[in-house]
Chains A and B, each alone.
Chain A
Amino acid sequence: MSLALSEEQELLRSTAREFVSEHAPVRELRKLRDTQDATGFSRALWKQMGELGWAGIVLPEELGGAGLGFAELGIVLEECGRTLAATPLVSTTLLAGNVVLLGGNEMQKKEILPSVAKAERVLALALQEAAHHAPYAVATRAESSANGYKLTGKKTFVLDGHVADQIVVVARTAGATGDRDGLSLFLVPKSARGLSVQRTIMVDGRNAANLVLEGVEVERSALIGAAGRGADVLDPALDRATIGLAAEMLGTLGEAFERTIKYLKDRKQFGVPIGSFQALKHRAANMFVEVELSRSIVLDALRAIDENRPDVPQLASIAKARLSDALHLVGNEAVQMHGGIGVTDEEEIGLFMKRARVAELTLGDGAYHRARFAALSGF
């Protein structure tokens, strides 16, 4: 697949860019934050994205989706990343949505996915239990009960966990913490007894939650896929979500970089634009290199999903490591190069750095993915 955008893809990009510029510019994120919005994102915006076909863009048409690929979803994600738009794209479309799409039975898919496509349902994936992404470090237990299972444990950093209609909880039906075998995936409704949700206000103004499950009862039909074989669904779902997140990060990266270059040209000190100072020119040029490398690997990773290539897992790790480090660099450089105003809340560039750090630590940072890539590559 060509890494150049087709005409249709270019059209999607300009449409998406126009849409987010009008309906979800950076000041919308600021408003959500400052008003302590209960949802943390605009449901009206999400509904509009549903109408545009973006919430279900990769879902098959028979499930109400647009039947397009990750190359297209990546374009939408990137444009959302440019304006730091708060949407359930990562939690619902990428994470939990892919778990249901890849592992759900026909009934589950038919029940859940069409409403995801219509942006009428928000989902969350409850996976992480300690302070770092570690998919198999699951201690939450799922014990067999009369009608199904009883879930007990704690989850943290659950994206959109406080507003999700349903939460896919990763729990252990067998094995010890750290084992790949023995994981199971359960659909838990938000109203489930024994489930307490604590919304966490994150530094980037987006949404996450801590969950405590105390004997939460779910029916047998809540199990997604085979008991104990949850990793077989979780792994590819995580790869897709990771690549999708990298695509969103690419937008944040590009926008932060472009705003910084503009500032270097506009800001004058000592009678000249500060962009004429060679030290800043060289740092800007190095950032440019990182942006270009990042763009290439994200584009390839998105297409690899669509082509069903066997190297999707490696590409997910390469893309996430790259974007994590590049956005870390550019986020920090952007603030530094904006000088005094860069550390003010009034200036928007600080929001980009905050988002950079949250995205970096979501679904594994550079170090995590280098280790994963090494394991996948046999060293």
Chain B
Amino acid sequence: MENLDSFRTEIGKWLEQNCPPSMRKPLGPDEDINWGGRDKVYDNPEEKLWLDRMAARGFTTPTWPKQYGGGGLSSAQARVLAEEMRRLHCRPPLVSFGITMLGPVLLQYGNEEQKQEHLPRIVRGEIRWCQGYSEPGAGSDLAGLQTRAEDQGDHYLVNGQKIWTSYADYADWIFCLVRTNTTAPKHDGISFLLFDMKTPGVTVAPIKLISGSSPFCQTFFQDVKVPKKNLVGKLDGGWTIAKALLQHEREMIGGMGLGMGGSGGGGTLDALAKEYCGTEAGRIADPVIRDQVAQHLMDSRCFTTTIRRSGDEAKAGAGPGAASSMFKLYGTEMNKRRYELLVKVLGSQALGWEGEGFNTRELGTTREWLRSKGNSIEGGTSEVQLNIIAKRVLGLPD
């Protein structure tokens, strides 16, 4: 503990000295977090400076080994770093799928050459990655994927398509699940490939959602040549790596879980209900809506308390409890209910698509309501989550 205290002091001082002032302000309405990448243009030089300084210490990837450019910190030290950054209102210098998803599996399954080539570039935000997993015919049944990689001697020839590829139109490289064996059982014929999005034959088409534009894309591969050295792990052994990566993805989303349950204006539901539905003696006039608002606020409180209990139990050495398997399921369904209630409360003012007659908040609520429909589908549908709970937690038979 003594070590952590002096580490905290040292880190706090370093952050104060090295985090530029504009990087200690919350994101403006037109600003986005830094995703890095080959083509990234830095309008604000302080944003580049902040990234470079943090990357030089490996703090963009605090727990990665130093030999690949990581911070070499323990998880306790990484927690201290995060706390100090929050305390000093320092923005995260870099956000990337390379950090949260690809990097951890490369560390686990990649060979030395791949680690040396890719990890430092992730640390420095030089390469932006996207995830080639789902296909039109392979969503919940991901192992049914058909994008083909044929052995052509010194390279693989990739043909097929991916869907729901977030930010494929901005990404530099893709980590992609491909089928390398069509005779083996479906889980045993999958490989994990890395390739450059600029490789001839790769095309990208953005996907519009019911809520309007989205970061999702379709990605098409026509005779794309991928060097064999870009195969991660064993040939036909990609499913194990795919699952490990999904676990990291789930932990990342779980880490955002607190945001899902507690923030997002849960406390404004009652204020909005008073504003749009009227009051009687200072209370929401409609008792049915009042009851539903109370129900939502109670749901939210029970959910955040469950996240906290899960954390307390983990700290007490109990390991990830059974409760954590319900976070994605409950958080997303609760979020959908919240938006339905918001639409009911805002009434016809929640039904505007664009233009005059609606304020920004109202139009935003409508889009968010529409987008929330995807929450219970992406990252494992609610139905799949229920199956997982039934099988892994309750032990119910197949």
Contact = CB atoms under 8 A, between A and B. Distances in A.
Interface of A: 2-4, 261, 264-265, 272-273, 275-276, 278, 280-282, 284-286, 288-289, 292-297, 299-300, 318, 321-322, 367, 370-371, 373-375, 377-379
Interface residues of B, number: 46
Interface stretch (B105-113, B165-173, B306-314, B357-365): B306-314
Contact of B294 (A4, A278, A371): A371
Interface stretch (B8-16, B64-72, B322-330): B322-330
B396 interface: yes
Given A2-B312, A275-B396, A374-B283, A321 B298 contact: yes
A4 B322 contact: no
Interface string B367-398: 00000000000000001011101110111111
Interface of B: 270-271, 273-274, 282-284, 287, 290-291, 293-295, 297-299, 301-303, 305-306, 308-309, 312-313, 315-316, 318, 322-323, 326, 329-330, 383, 385-387, 389-391, 393-398
Nearest to A273: B397
Given A297-B301, A379-B273, A261 B306 contact: no
Contact of B394 (A284, A293, A294, A367): A284
A379 B389 contact: no
B397 A293 contact: no
Given A285-B386, A377-B297, A265 B330 contact: no
Given A293-B305, A300-B308, 12 more contacts: A3-B305, A4-B318, A261-B394, A282-B386, A286-B386, A292-B306, A322-B302, A370-B294, A370-B298, A371-B291, A374-B290, A374-B293
26 contacts: A3-B308, A4-B309, A4-B316, A261-B394, A281-B391, A282-B387, A282-B390, A285-B389, A286-B386, A288-B326, A288-B393, A289-B330, A292-B323, A293-B302, A296-B309, A297-B302, A299-B309, A318-B301, A322-B298, A371-B291, A377-B270, A378-B270, A379-B270, A379-B271, A379-B284, A379-B294
A284 B390 contact: yes
Contact of B390 (A281, A374, A375): A281
B315 to A, nearest CB: 7
Given A4-B313, A4-B315, A288-B394, A282 B302 contact: no
Contacts of B303: 293
Nearest to B317: A4
A296 B312 CA distance: 11
Contacts of B284: 374, 379
A265 B302 CA distance: 29
Nearest to A282: B386
Contacts of B305: 3, 293, 296-297, 299-300
